[in-house]
Amino acid sequence: MPNEVLIGAAADFLKEGREVVLTPKGSSMLPFIRGQIDSVRLKKKDTVKKGDIVLADLGDRYVLHRVFREDDQRLTLMGDGNIKGVESCDRSDILGTVTSIIRPSGKEIKPGKGGLWRALLPVRRYILAIYRRLLCVSRKDSF
């Protein structure tokens, strides 16, 4: 099913106040959310704060990223797995907030605010490179 259709339906559920579980694609939220491995539980919240992981409708695409900065009505988003590049959106573009990360074992983890990870932005490139290499090695070992 195309992302636009799936997330569009999920957005409708979130607007109704229902919880939604999605399995994200991509690596923009590494190392905390592993694309096509972990799932996330989302819920529409009244307030969104710096450090929250949110699903946003950017008009041309949907992103699951962390709120990096906040102003009155504008939010700056950045994926934990990104070393540069941010997106901006209005608070009204937020479809839902991640309330838990679900590992393949079924264990649910409440997401933190990512303060230390944001502070590590200058060296994040090296940490992510090591993580990706270790992840690739462990995946090769599992085949």
Q: Is the pTM of this model over 0.85?
A: yes
Spatial distance between the Cα atoms of 45 and 30, rounded to a whole number of angstroms: 24
Four-point Cα dihedral 135, 140, 142, 143, nearest 10: 150
Total number of domains in the chain: 1
> C-alpha angle 112/114/117, rounded to 5°?
140
pLDDT tens per residue, range 124-136: 999 999 998 887 6
Q: How confident is the model at residue 40 (pLDDT cuts 50, 70, 90)?
A: very high
Alpha carbons 61 and 127: distance in angstroms, whole number: 28
Rounded CA separation 27/33 (Å) = 8
CATH of the domain at 116: 2.10.109.10
Report pLDDT digits (tens) over 78-115.
999 999 999 999 999 999 999 999 999 999 999 999 99
**Which residues span the domain enclosing 118?**
3-141
